[in-house]
Amino acid sequence: MPLTFMRAGEPASIKKVGGKEETKKFLENLGFVTGAAVTVVSAAGGSLIVNIKDSRIAIGKDMASRIMV
């Protein structure tokens, strides 16, 4: 399921990162790689705040919909 469907506080593992090659590379540089643990902290407006690799990152729902968990 896409990252956008996760509930806050629910941990998951990234299964696949989709999108164009430049989008994949951007997300990989932020730490969104296959097998990484990710937790949604909050979803407000058009963005998600997630914990990944000991960092909090805000990403738009359009980007988050390309990350499968």
Q: Give pLDDT tens digits for 36-68.
A: 999 999 998 889 999 998 899 999 999 999 999
CB 39 within 8 A of CB 50: yes
Q: How many domains does the chain have?
A: 1
In a domain, 15, yes or no: yes
Q: What is the pTM assigned to this prediction?
A: 0.87
> How distant is the alpha carbon of residue 23 from its chain centre?
12
In a domain, 37, yes or no: yes
Note the pLDDT of residue 6: 92
In a domain, 62, yes or no: no
Domain extent for 31 = 3-54
Cα–Cα dist 21/8, whole Å? 28
In a domain, 32, yes or no: yes
- Domain with residue 42: its CATH number is 2.30.30.90
The encoded tokens of residue 58 equal 């805000």
